[in-house]
């Protein structure tokens, strides 16, 4: 099987032109004078409040009461003035503030205090909204704020005075009309999908909005068709985007039912296809693999969403449209990136991770990718997107994708992937005692005339992973590029793994937290144990190590390596006698 994606100068030009048009349109519509066009009469009331599936934390509410506001590890102290008048430490912090997702934490604290605080903060924002602020009126931020205000309306409006109610509704209507106008000025992908969800949700929540609801539902269906792939993955190839979309889509489905309506077949089908993908992308510890922009997994939110999966269908072995392969054998899970980069307009968070993989043993991670840092760490985020930050092969210390980082186009279009592997060959088959994946990509063919081939074979017992990394030229002959043929095969280890390089420098011993040990062996020319890092967008980066095989293609066109278990963990050893007794008695 072969998968690929179209590319070329024409497509890149259309992408850049579209990005520039959206940026100019947003700046026009977000101007202070232009926004007053969206004032007007308001409906009588909100009829329903969609549920909020995001979990709340009372300790966060206590921090806000004391004037401490923290988002993604960056915080400020507010004392004696409004938080909306504070200088934000970075743009992402400001986006989180103006999105109002933090309202849900107030819900978890004392009701009397939380209601008064929520109303005060909303009033402060309404006064602040008279200022021209690019972040506060970014279309996605407006959508997130509307969703938050709707879902927390019972907290905010219960027992409030009539004047506050009028101010709240007037602002809600103005923001809704503004969002309807600028919906397509938003960045394609999840931000635009969230806008369509917000518009459909608010059309359901207000009285007398049948025409608006019909239009919003139609727009939402168009985005779902464009963004949700046939296998249930997201077009951005970011596994975390599936959960983010479902967190907002599931309450919307319930809102349709609560109003006596019927969600569209497109909406229902999208949810049904996406739910199994949440389990497809999970490793043994319950969190998502680190591919294409996935950071720390909010396991509490994931558990909440999974509770809505009534079918629990068997997991497919692969997600061919999303570009991922999964092998699970006796508690050992391997997930590999076997897909081309997403289209440029959906690729601002995509990584150059082709043919990389992650591996977990039981509930412990062994081989990982580097993940992503917090949003404000721009330089680290660029580093995290490189091929070297993934457990795969790099050629001449370059990435298999080219990512736009600067220049006039980059200012409007963001750091999109503009070139990368256009053809991925995939063969999956069962062999005696194992499942084998044979993969190949052409991401280095244009620059170095080298194709990377990788074979991964995981035993049915889950105790041995054998791999072969080979290098050939596009004509099928052994690759030879003179001085431009250096390769590095990287295996990033989880920080909880203790690794020791053997004296002969051809193997590495690894010990997992429960005492289980694995050995890495290779016939490669130069094996080393080097520094690495597991990046985190919430919990802080952690130093770790990586196994690296260095060599030159003209001297070594194929490298064999294997990971195999050498000793069981303490928990498994404790359970073995009981298991043997059960088997003997049977």
Buried b (16+ CB within 10 A) or exposed e, 239-266: bbbbbbbbbbbbbbbebbebeeeebbeb
pLDDT at res. 102: 95
pLDDT category of residue 204 using cuts at 50, 70 and 90: very high
Q: How far apart are CA 491 and CA 489, in angstroms?
A: 7
pLDDT at res. 452: 96
Write out pLDDT tens, residues 174-186. Answer: 999 999 999 988 8
Buried b (16+ CB within 10 A) or exposed e, 535-558: bbbeeebeebbbbbbbbbbbebbe
pLDDT at 104 > cutoff 70: yes
Tokens of 92: 């992402």
pLDDT at 361 > cutoff 70: yes
Tell me the backbone φ, ψ of residue 368, rounded to 5 degrees.
-135, 175
| Average pLDDT estimate for 493-498 | 96
CA neighbor of 373 nearest in space, from 315, 290, 306, 314: 290
Handedness of CA 228, 232, 237, 241 (dihedral sign): positive
pLDDT at res. 48: 86
pLDDT at res. 19: 54
pLDDT at 32 > cutoff 60: no
More confident residue, 43 or 143: 143
Q: How far apart are CA 309 and CA 54, in angstroms?
A: 16
pLDDT at res. 410: 52
Q: Hey, which residues does 454 pair with through a beta bridge?
A: 439, 469
pLDDT at res. 312: 77
pLDDT at res. 504: 76
pLDDT at res. 34: 47
Write out pLDDT tens, residues 418-465. Answer: 899 999 999 999 999 999 999 999 999 989 999 999 999 999 999 999
More confident residue, 116 or 313: 116
More confident residue, 210 or 193: 193
| Average pLDDT estimate for 527-542 | 91
Handedness of CA 550, 551, 557, 562 (dihedral sign): negative
Q: How far apart are CA 291 and CA 349, in angstroms?
A: 10
Chain position carrying tokens 């130069």: 526
pLDDT at res. 398: 95
Helix 265-280, helix 239-258: angle, nearest 10 = 140
Spatial contact of 433 and 445, defined as CB atoms under 8 Å apart? no
Spatial contact of 187 and 138, defined as CB atoms under 8 Å apart? no
pLDDT at res. 366: 97
Q: How far apart are CA 513 and CA 2, in angstroms?
A: 39
More confident residue, 377 or 462: 462
- Percentages (nearest 5) of helix, strand, coil residues in the chain: 40, 25, 35
E strand residue ranges, 523-557 = 526-534, 542-552
More confident residue, 506 or 486: 486
pLDDT at res. 7: 52
| Average pLDDT estimate for 381-407 | 91
Spatial contact of 465 and 456, defined as CB atoms under 8 Å apart? yes
Dihedral angle, C-alpha 302, 370, 442, 15, nearest 10 °: 70
Tokens of 282: 């999970």
Give whichever of 10-24, 58-72, 135-149, 502-516 has the largest mean pLDDT: 135-149
| Average pLDDT estimate for 490-500 | 97
Q: How far apart are CA 315 and CA 232, in angstroms?
A: 12
| Average pLDDT estimate for 278-282 | 95
Tokens of 227: 């963004």
pLDDT at 141 > cutoff 90: yes
pLDDT at 500 > cutoff 90: yes
Handedness of CA 103, 107, 112, 113 (dihedral sign): negative
> pTM for the whole thing?
0.88
| DSSP H or E segment with residue 499 | strand 498-501
pLDDT category of residue 551 using cuts at 50, 70 and 90: very high
pLDDT at 262 > cutoff 70: yes
pLDDT at res. 14: 55
Spatial contact of 493 and 532, defined as CB atoms under 8 Å apart? yes
CA neighbor of 229 nearest in space, from 324, 354, 348: 324
pLDDT at 583 > cutoff 80: no
CA neighbor of 64 nearest in space, from 52, 84, 54, 78: 78
pLDDT category of residue 494 using cuts at 50, 70 and 90: very high
pLDDT at 2 > cutoff 90: no
| Average pLDDT estimate for 21-35 | 51
pLDDT at 3 > cutoff 80: no
| Average pLDDT estimate for 151-162 | 92
Which residues neighbour 310 within 8 Å (Cβ) at sequence distance 6 or greater? none
pLDDT at res. 110: 87
Q: How far apart are CA 548 and CA 359, in angstroms?
A: 16
Dihedral angle, C-alpha 257, 261, 265, 271, nearest 10 °: -20
pLDDT at res. 39: 43
Q: Which of 367-376, 439-448, 514-523, 563-572 has the lowest mean pLDDT?
A: 563-572
pLDDT at 238 > cutoff 50: yes
CA neighbor of 28 nearest in space, from 129, 142, 128, 134: 134
Spatial contact of 281 and 242, defined as CB atoms under 8 Å apart? yes
pLDDT category of residue 33 using cuts at 50, 70 and 90: very low
Percent of the chain at pLDDT > 90 equals 67
| Average pLDDT estimate for 159-166 | 92
Q: Which of 27-31, 58-62, 112-116, 349-353 has the lowest mean pLDDT?
A: 27-31
Q: How far apart are CA 512 and CA 515, in angstroms?
A: 5
pLDDT at res. 480: 57
Burial (Cβ within 10 Å: 0-12, 13-18, ≥19) of residue 8: exposed
Which residues neighbour 94 within 8 Å (Cβ) at sequence distance 6 or greater? 88, 135, 136
pLDDT at res. 170: 92
pLDDT at res. 346: 93
Spatial contact of 5 and 341, defined as CB atoms under 8 Å apart? yes
């Amino acid at each position: 099987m072969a998968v690929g994606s179209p590319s070329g100068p024409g497509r890149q030009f259309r992408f850049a032109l579209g990005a520039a048009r959206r940026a100019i349109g947003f700046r026009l519509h977000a101007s202070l004078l232009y926004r007053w066009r969206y004032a007007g009469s308001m409906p009588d009331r909100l009829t329903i409040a969609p549920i909020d599936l995001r979990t709340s934390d009372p300790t966060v509410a206590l921090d806000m009461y004391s004037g401490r506001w923290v988002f993604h590890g960056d915080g400020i102290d507010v004392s004696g003035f409004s938080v909306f008048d504070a200088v934000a430490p970075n743009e992402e912090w400001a986006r989180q503030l103006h999105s109002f997702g933090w309202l849900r934490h107030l819900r978890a604290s004392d009701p009397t205090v939380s209601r008064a605080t929520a109303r005060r903060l909303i009033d402060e924002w309404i006064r602040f909204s008279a200022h021209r602020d690019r972040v506060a009126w970014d279309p996605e931020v407006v959508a997130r704020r509307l969703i938050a205000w709707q879902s927390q309306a019972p907290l905010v409006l219960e027992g409030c005075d009539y004047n506050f109610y009028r101010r709240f509704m007037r602002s809600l209507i103005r923001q809704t009309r503004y969002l309807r106008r600028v919906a397509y000025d938003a960045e394609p992908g999840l931000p635009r999908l969230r806008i369509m969800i917000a518009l459909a949700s608010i059309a359901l929540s207000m009285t007398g909005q049948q025409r608006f609801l019909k239009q919003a539902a139609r727009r939402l269906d168009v985005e779902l068709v464009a963004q949700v792939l046939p296998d249930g993955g997201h077009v951005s190839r970011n596994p975390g985007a599936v959960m983010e979309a479902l967190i907002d889509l599931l309450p919307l489905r319930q809102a349709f039912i609560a109003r006596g309506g019927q969600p569209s077949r497109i909406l229902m089908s999208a949810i049904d296809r996406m739910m199994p993908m949440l389990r497809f992308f999970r490793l043994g510890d319950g969190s998502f693999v680190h591919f294409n922009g996935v950071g720390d997994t909010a396991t509490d939110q994931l558990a909440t969403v999974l509770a809505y999966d009534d079918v629990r269908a068997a997991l497919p072995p692969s997600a061919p449209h999303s570009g991922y392969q999964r092998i699970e054998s006796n508690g050992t899970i391997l997930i590999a990136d076997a897909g081309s980069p997403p289209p440029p307009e959906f690729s601002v968070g995509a990584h150059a991770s082709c043919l990389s993989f992650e591996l977990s043993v039981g509930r412990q991670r062994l081989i990982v990718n580097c993940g992503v840092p917090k949003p404000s760490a721009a330089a680290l985020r660029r580093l995290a997107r490189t091929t070297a930050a993934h457990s795969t092969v790099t050629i001449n210390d370059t990435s298999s994708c080219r990512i736009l980082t600067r220049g006039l186009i980059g200012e409007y279009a963001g750091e999109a992937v503009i070139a990368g592997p256009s053809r991925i060959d995939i063969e999956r088959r069962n062999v005696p005692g194992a499942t084998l994946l044979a993969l190949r990509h052409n991401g280095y063919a244009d620059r170095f005339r080298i194709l990377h081939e990788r074979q991964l074979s995981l035993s049915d017992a889950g105790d041995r992973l054998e791999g072969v990394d080979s290098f050939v030229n596009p004509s099928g002959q052994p690759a030879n590029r003179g001085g431009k043929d250096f390769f590095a095969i990287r295996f990033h280890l989880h920080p909880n793994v203790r690794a020791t390089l053997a004296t002969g420098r051809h193997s590495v011993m690894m010990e997992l937290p429960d005492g289980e040990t694995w050995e890495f062996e290779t016939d490669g020319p130069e094996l080393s144990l080097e520094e690495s890092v597991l990046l985190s967008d919430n919990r802080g980066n952690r130093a770790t190590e990586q196994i690296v095989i260095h060599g030159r293609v003209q001297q070594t066109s194929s490298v064999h390596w294997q990971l195999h278990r050498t000793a069981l963990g303490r928990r498994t050893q404790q359970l073995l006698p009981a298991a043997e007794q059960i088997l003997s008695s049977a």
